[in-house]
Amino acid sequence: MRKKIVAGNWKMNLTSEEGQQLTTEIVNLYKGEAIQDVVVVLNPPFPHLYPVKKLVGDTAGIFVGAQNCSDKEGGAFTGEVSSKILASFGVSYVILGHSERRENFKEDQVVLATKINQALAHGLVPIFCCGESLEIRESGTHEETVKAQLTASLFHLSPGEFSKVVIAYEPIWAIGTGKTASAEQAQEMHAALRGHLATKYGDVIAAQIAILYGGSANPGNAKELFGKPDVDGGLIGGASLKSRDFIEIVKSF
């Protein structure tokens, strides 16, 4: 049985007070709704990690994740944060390969493969993002493109290492645009990616890997998206900044 996961990506938003208020609201709503069997991951900017972790406390089912990590173990890399440091603060997950990191910071497949190694070495669960632009989607090469991203950054892992990874499919053309891939389009891509994983790691491991949808999911479409057989949850952007919207998405299972 695959995990059901809803991860909130706060991106570069919220002051200290706003972040603590949002976390408190989410924790209280999560407990109040008696939600079970859905893993919730809060991914705030780095300065929020300690206070968010403290507010989450021992709440069963809610974890804290980072939005990125360094590809280095440590040393003279001003401004970087290593997986080792993140793990020492009780961080459990880390988002890697988000389209904004690929586009704005020119992170390539080699760097991402190294970041994956660092995360796993320190016990973090990577949420590995992959996806295609509108141009690639319209050219009809979207499946080939996204499969290549998985191959380049993940297929060096052993079966045991790979089984710890979470995948997040991002139709880049549906992030922050108000557009959303239809549930059918999402299912088609998730099934194609799972099939690709099976070619390397076999059907059993491929069937165990959670694949999240990362394209503007909201309380209005999450239930239909999560109802598809290969969609195991969501990596949520804007809607994760509103506690009630976020919890409604969590409840969509």
**What pLDDT sits at residue 176?**
65
**What pLDDT sits at residue 194?**
98
Question: How many whole angstroms separate alpha carbon 41 and alpha carbon 39?
Answer: 7
Contacts of 1 (CB under 8 A, 6+ apart): none
User: Is 144 annotated as catalytic?
Assistant: no
Q: Is 14 exposed, middle or buried (0-12, 13-18, 19+ CB in 10 A)?
A: middle
Q: Choosing from 100, 107, 132, 170, which is the catalytic residue? A: 170
Which of 127, 157, 149 minimizes the C-alpha distance to 193?
149
**Domain residue limits at 165:** 5-250
Tens of pLDDT, residues 113-122: 999 999 999 9
pTM of the model: 0.97
**What pLDDT sits at residue 178?**
64
Question: How many whole angstroms separate alpha carbon 213 and alpha carbon 189?
Answer: 10
Q: Choosing from 48, 98, 142, 190, which is the catalytic residue? A: 98
Which of 25, 9, 181 minimizes the C-alpha distance to 100?
9
The CATH number covering residue 186 comes to 3.20.20.70
Place of tokens 């980072």: 66
For the chain, which residues score pLDDT lower than 50?
Answer: none
Tens of pLDDT, residues 148-201: 999 999 999 999 999 999 999 999 987 766 666 899 999 999 999 999 999 999
User: Is 170 annotated as catalytic?
Assistant: yes
Domain count for the chain: 1
